[in-house]
Amino acid sequence: MAQTFAEDVLDGRRALVTGGGTGLGRAMTEVFLDHGAEVAIASRKRYAQAADELGIPGFELDVRDEEACQRVVDEASDALGGLDLLVNNAAGNFLSPAANLSENGWRSVVDIVLDGTFRMSQAAYPELAEAEEANVVNIVATYAWTAAPMVSHSGAAKSGVLNLTRSLAVEWGDDDVRVNAIAPGPVVTEKAAEHLGYADPEVQEKLATKIPMDRLGEPEEIADAALFLSSPAARWVTGECLVVDGGQWLQGNLFDALMSE
């Protein structure tokens, strides 16, 4: 695919991507690297191989651990010489009817998605505020405002992240720290397909019929959105949520198709 942005559009920028070893996180990491940024990744698993393959710093991180969040921010900042960009991509999700959802299942997802996003943002704030221009990108979902069955835990958490995005945009604007979100549609990644029940190609074909553009997304398409929000092209954009889903959310609830399987 031809590059839309200049190869050096992120030249001199220093990014930390959580959940950066696989899926959307790895795609965003690679796009940032391809456009001139220095990048560090952090994740609970599979970060070491990705860091080695890409030749970048990688750190073990469980965003449920406040001290670990601060440690990784400090170590990434030391490795890169500061931080300009933070991508909060660490996530946890699975399908469950609300009536059957355990207390532990609820708390685990909320702790990773909502609380983890807050912990990382708070830990990174001093570094971001010192940068000439800084940006935070949070990953949410369209069901944060439309609602959907089977994901009450994730929906509540991501709705909180969306509000947090806007709250931090208001608070941190004076420091030239922009805070935005991306709401991806159904994207073909190993983790998402497995946890949300569409690993089967036949299920993917069925889901595609619920999307106006008649296909599932690719990780690179979400990464390009993150690139835009992190670039000078979005220098007056903050507190916004960019939906990248082929129009799916306009056409109703995607999870009905999964529930019928």
Q: Which sequence positions are flagged as catalytic? A: 143
Q: How far apart are CA 21 and CA 237, in angstroms?
A: 27
177-184: strand order across its sheet:
58-60, 38-43, 14-18, 85-88, 134-139, 177-184, 241-244
Q: How far apart are CA 80 and CA 38, in angstroms?
A: 7
From residue 201, give the alpha-carbon distance in Å to each of 68, 188, 204. Answer: 38, 10, 5
Question: Nearest Cα to 9, choosing from 179, 221, 242, 229?
Answer: 229
Element (H, E) at 51: helix 47-54
